Amino acid sequence: MMHTLCEMAQQHVKALVFFQQFLLTNRPTKLKRIDADARVGYGARMNDETATQPSFPLRETDDDARQLARQLIGDVRHAALAVLDENGAPAVTRIAFGVESDGTMVSLISDLSAHAKRLKAHPRCGLLIGDPPQKGDPLAFPRLSLAAEVRFLSRDDPSHSARRDEWLKTHPKSALYIDFSDFNFIAFTPLHGDLNGGFGKAYHLTRADLI
């Protein structure tokens, strides 16, 4: 009995040593900390790049991160939209989402919806982009959080017909309601974003990184 316990203890120690060595040899090598103060006067300085830098550990933003972010934006057909309600509290909903041929991010929403009314009052919003997998841990897969500003696009705009046709190619079920008078397109102008590419792969993206 004692001999068996000793063997188990030795195996446990070996496993701990192996795991420690694994962590030391596989830890991210490009972590950095951005110390810009993004809290004081944040709302007033949203367009200032120095005001949008978070103060938590990040990797250096590289071409792979930019490509992954753009791939996520181009692949999804739905997104989570965060807006401010009438009391200034956050409210989240799911919306259809797409990217036009020129790279413009758009959605089709009803003027009767609560989020449409709230966007007209407060056009700045948040988007969570990235479809969770059918299997596995959703938190282990890439997702992108975007801060954006919304523009409402008129149905009388000369580009509406082409936009409508392009939208239906990727959202065919929208044909049931796309021509209802209360449905209109909105365009998102990205301000900045935070990319989580998986464990230990966090990046901050500027507007230039996203377009």
> pLDDT tens digits, residue range 56-98?
668 889 999 999 999 999 999 999 999 999 999 999 999 999 9
Give the largest CA-CA distance in the chain. 84
Q: Can you give the residue ranges of every domain in the chain?
A: 61-210
String of DSSP letters for 117-176: HHHHH--EEEEEE-PPPSSS-GGGS-EEEEEEEEEEEPTTSTTHHHHHHHHHHH-GGGGG
Is 17 or 76 the better-scoring residue by pLDDT? 76
> pLDDT tens digits, residue range 97-156?
999 999 999 999 999 999 999 999 999 999 999 988 788 888 889 999 999 999 999 999
Is 1 or 170 the better-scoring residue by pLDDT? 170
Fold adopted by 61-210: Pnp Oxidase; Chain A (2.30.110)
Q: Is the pLDDT of residue 210 over 60?
A: yes
